[in-house]
Amino acid sequence: MIKPKIVYISVLVLIFFILLAVLLYYLVRAKIFADSPYGQEVARQVRSWDIDFDGNNENVSLVKYNNGRENNFILMLTKDNGSKYSIVLDGFESDTSYCSDSEITIFGQERLICINGYVGAHSQNMQFLLLRDDTLKPVEFINNDSSQNRIASDQPAYSLLKDENGGNIGISIDNRNYDKDPTLDIIRSYYYFKEDAFIFDHSEVIDNLNELNQQGTIN
């Protein structure tokens, strides 16, 4: 006959292992499903592109996080060999997306990922990113002595500039001309892609925008 003391000890041991198993389960689950440092993931847009011309597609994810106070946007890239890269996208507020007509665009020997999103009621930011030297980095827009890792338009309108063979060589950006009628007149700035950056070339004043052909706009 089994002594009551042995039964009592056996029950305690069983309860201990059950509690330990439950604790380990929730610790593992919490680790797997915990929010990132950027907050809770609320949206993810996934694409598959051969960014580096190696014949294999990379997995590209545009992820939106919210930490209760603000939104954070992260671009993540995973190569077929398992290497992972990520970068925080600057200057966006409520939402971002891949540029509708030019999600990935070839400039010379580079494939650039194009991201845009609204900031405020009317303005829109655009950011190009490339994979270089095992680093995912934004393409700089350089104007005289200043540079920034994105470009804004309050029109908003962007157009790719092409050479005589149809290759992309740069981008034009429209902004409202507040010295005239900002609902009709714009200042169009031209940037050309050189040495992994968009270099400012010139601007022109365009009157009565409604009469212009706006084909080719990225957004």
- 68 belongs to a structural domain: yes
Is 157 contained in some domain? Answer: yes
Compute the distance between CA of residue 35 and CA of residue 140 in angstroms, rounded to an integer.
31
pLDDT tens column, 70-106: 899 999 999 988 899 999 998 898 889 999 878 999 9
CA torsion sign, 153 to 70 to 66 to 130? Answer: positive
Q: How many domains does the chain have?
A: 2
pLDDT of residue 15: 82
Q: Is residue 29 domain-shared with residue 58, that is, in the same domain?
A: no
- DSSP-derived pairing of the beta strands 97-98 and 135-138: unpaired
- Looking at the chain, how many residues does it have? 219
Q: Is the pLDDT of residue 194 over 60?
A: yes
CB atoms near residue 150 (< 10 Å): 21
Instruction: Specify the pLDDT at position 214.
Output: 47
Q: Which of 35-44, 124-133, 205-214 shows the lowest mean pLDDT across its residues? A: 205-214
Q: Is 27 exposed, middle or buried (0-12, 13-18, 19+ CB in 10 A)?
A: exposed
Residue 100: which residues within 8 A CB-CB, separation 6 or more? 218, 219
Give φ, ψ of 117 to 5 degrees.
-175, 155
* pLDDT for residue 171: 96
Q: Which two tokens stand for residue 136?
A: 């995912």
Are 171 and 189 in the same domain? yes
The boundaries of the domain holding residue 27 are: 1-34
How far from 57 is each of 29, 47, 106, 112, 128, CA to CA, in Å?
31, 9, 15, 14, 19
Q: Are 39 and 18 part of one and the same domain? A: no
* pLDDT tens readout for residues 36-72: 688 899 999 999 999 988 899 999 999 999 988 889 9
Give domain status of residue 216, yes or no: no
The model's confidence at residue 140, banded by pLDDT at 50, 70 and 90, is very high
pLDDT over threshold 50, residue 14? yes
Residue 219 lies in a domain: no
Q: Which amino acid is at 45?
A: Q
127 falls within a domain: yes
The structure's pTM equals 0.76
Q: What is the pLDDT of residue 134?
A: 82
The reply to whether 100 and 163 lie within a common domain is: yes
Closest to 94 measured CA to CA, from 128, 61, 119, 68: 119
How far apart CA 63 and CA 49 sit, in angstroms, is: 17
Tell me what pLDDT residue 102 has. 86
